[in-house]
């Protein structure tokens, strides 16, 4: 009896101390998360280097970390700096009135008399609907410019997180396998199940980063270049917006280039409208169909609706980290239920998937 009481007390303290420990680490969650994710993504490269230098673990980890800096971190820093600069310019132009968004919306609404007649038949006040939509679009545009401007305001905090991430990355690369084995031994789910869950998470991470993110970057870059070539203001900012939207299935970058191309056509700018819509449909959209099957194995993909919901939910809860955390949680959800159906519910029917 005493032994059971002591065991329960120990487990209670174990849970309490673990919760406190995670609360202590909470301010550094982003740095820890991205260091672990980058270590996971570049682990195959590190393994190949270890085959050539089997007894130089520290050196190989350092080389891998430098490659991560050259391939990922430095280009990202350059992009963030350029985005902050462009956001600042756009923000200043909006504040000074140099860019008059209301003029763009006025030209758009005056080119749509048919919509005005339709709303009148439905008993809706055209002027009120137009003003509300214009105010919403203006608020969204100003919000994007403000957020890009604010990127440059958190330089100190961002720099500290970056330094911490690079520092942790070296140790995750060097000790990653031992840490995974330690977690497998510590969690009482059964080693075979835990290895399956880790494998599913690794597949999801590679699919999300290698596939979805690369496709999104290519689509956003093409969209940004298209905006720049057509002489539109804030091409880099809109390219980043299209990159983010391209992470979402179904929605995609069309949410930017589609309305802009339609606006050009409705306001009489036929050439730019045709170029925008044709390039978007024939180049930007086709990139997804060509690159995604090459970069992402089919067996690691979830249904598009689940990817969309988990990504949006992850971003809503965790910000930019959520585009990986959301699908990761969904992947673990599916993996846990598949294990349950196979081991506790007399197997999974052939061809069944969630």
What distance in Å separates the CA atoms of residue 222 and residue 52, rounded to the nearest whole number?
Answer: 39
**154 and 222 share one domain:** no
Q: Of 158, 202, 212, 200, which is closest to residue 39 (Cα–Cα)?
A: 202
Closest to 90 (Cα-Cα) out of 227, 221, 219: 227
Domain boundary among 163, 186, 209: 186
Q: Which helix (H) or strand (E) holds 311?
A: helix 304-318
Are 161 and 223 in a shared domain?
no
Residue-level pLDDT at 20? 93
DSSP-derived 3-state class of residue 99: coil
- Regarding whether 220 and 149 lie in a shared domain, the answer is no
Residue 245 · residue 213 · CB < 8 Å = no
Chain centre to alpha carbon of residue 136? 24
Whether 7 is in a domain gets the answer no
Q: What is the mean pLDDT of the chain?
A: 77
Instruction: Give the pLDDT mean for 28-48.
Output: 87
Give the integer Cα–Cα distance in Å for 129 and 111.
15
Residues 164 and 253 in one domain: no
Q: And the tokens for 17?
A: 């101390």
What are the residues whose beta carbons fall under 8 Å from the beta carbon of 162, sequence distance 6 or more? 31, 73, 77
Of 166, 186, 206, the last residue of a domain is 186
Same domain, 262 and 347: yes
* 353 located within any domain: yes
Mean predicted confidence (pLDDT) in 6-29: 88
Same domain for 213 and 154? no
* Whole-angstrom distance, CA of residue 39 vs CA of residue 74: 16
**With contact defined as beta carbons under 8 Å apart, do 219 and 253 qualify?**
yes
Residue 296 lies in a domain: yes
Most confident of 49-58, 164-173, 278-287: 164-173
- Quote the number of domains for the chain: 2
Residue for token digits 């969204």? Answer: 140
- Mean pLDDT confidence for 210-235: 84
Q: Is 147 in contact with 14 (CB distance < 8 Å)?
A: no
Least confident range from 94-108, 222-236, 297-311: namely 94-108
Confidence of residue 66 (pLDDT cuts 50, 70, 90): very high
Do residues 300 and 175 share a domain?
no
Domain shared by 210 and 171, yes or no = no
Note whether residue 65 is domain-resident: yes
Q: Given the structure tokens 């999104």, which residue do they identify?
A: 216
In a shared domain, residues 209 and 244: yes
Task: List the domain range (segments joined by +) for residue 152.
Answer: 27-186
* Average pLDDT of the residues in 198-217: 77
Exposed, middle or buried by CB within 10 Å (0-12, 13-18, 19+), for 111? middle
The top-scoring range by mean pLDDT among 124-138, 140-154, 178-192 is 178-192
Answer yes or no: do 162 and 254 share one domain: no
Of the pLDDT bands very low, low, confident and very high (cuts 50, 70, 90), residue 354 is: very low
pLDDT (tens digit, 9 = 90+) per residue, 270-292? 888 899 989 988 888 888 777 76
Between CA 41 and CA 48, with CA 47 as vertex, the angle to 5 degrees is: 110
Calpha distance 212→323 (Å, rounded): 10
Cα angle for residues 97, 100, 85 (degrees, 5° grid): 65
Same domain, 127 and 239: no
Which of the listed residues 147, 170, 186 is the one where a domain comes to its end? 186
Same domain (yes/no): 87, 170: yes
Q: What angle do the packed helices 322-344 and 191-206 form, to 10 degrees?
A: 140
Read off the tokens for 243.
């990159």
């Amino acid at each position: 009896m005493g032994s059971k009481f002591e065991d329960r007390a120990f487990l209670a303290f174990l849970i309490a101390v673990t919760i406190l420990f995670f609360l202590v680490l909470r301010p550094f969650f982003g740095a820890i998360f991205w260091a672990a994710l980058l270590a996971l993504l570049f682990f195959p490269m590190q393994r190949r280097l270890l085959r050539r230098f089997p007894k130089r673990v520290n050196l190989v980890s350092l080389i891998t970390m430098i490659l991560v800096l050259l391939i990922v971190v430095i280009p990202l820093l350059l992009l963030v700096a350029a985005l902050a600069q462009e956001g600042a310019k756009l923000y200043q132009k909006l504040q000074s009135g140099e860019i008059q968004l209301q003029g763009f919306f006025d030209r758009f609404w005056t080119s749509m008399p048919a919509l005005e007649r339709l709303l009148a038949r439905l008993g809706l006040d055209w002027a009120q609907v137009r003003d509300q939509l214009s105010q919403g679009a203006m608020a969204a545009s100003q919000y994007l410019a403000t957020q890009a401007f604010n990127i440059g305001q958190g330089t100190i905090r961002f720099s500290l997180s970056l330094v911490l991430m690079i520092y942790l990355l070296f140790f995750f690369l060097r000790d990653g396998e031992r840490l995974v084995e330690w977690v497998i031994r510590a969690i009482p789910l059964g080693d075979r199940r835990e290895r399956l869950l880790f494998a599913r998470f690794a597949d999801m991470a590679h699919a999300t980063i290698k596939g979805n993110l690369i496709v999104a970057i290519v689509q956003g870059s093409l969209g940004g270049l298209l905006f720049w070539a057509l002489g539109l203001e804030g091409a880099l900012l809109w390219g980043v917006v299209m990159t983010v939207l391209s992470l979402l299935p179904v929605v995609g970058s069309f949410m930017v280039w589609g309305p802009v191309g339609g606006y050009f056509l409705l306001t009489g700018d036929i050439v730019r409208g045709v170029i925008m819509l044709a390039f978007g449909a024939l180049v930007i959209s086709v990139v997804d169909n060509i690159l995604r099957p090459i970069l992402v194995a089919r067996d690691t993909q979830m249904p598009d609706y689940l990817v969309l919901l988990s990504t949006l939910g992850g971003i809503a809860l965790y910000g930019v980290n959520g585009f990986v955390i959301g699908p990761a949680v969904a992947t673990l959800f599916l993996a846990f239920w598949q294990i349950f159906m196979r081991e506790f519910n007399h197997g999974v029917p052939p061809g069944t998937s969630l």
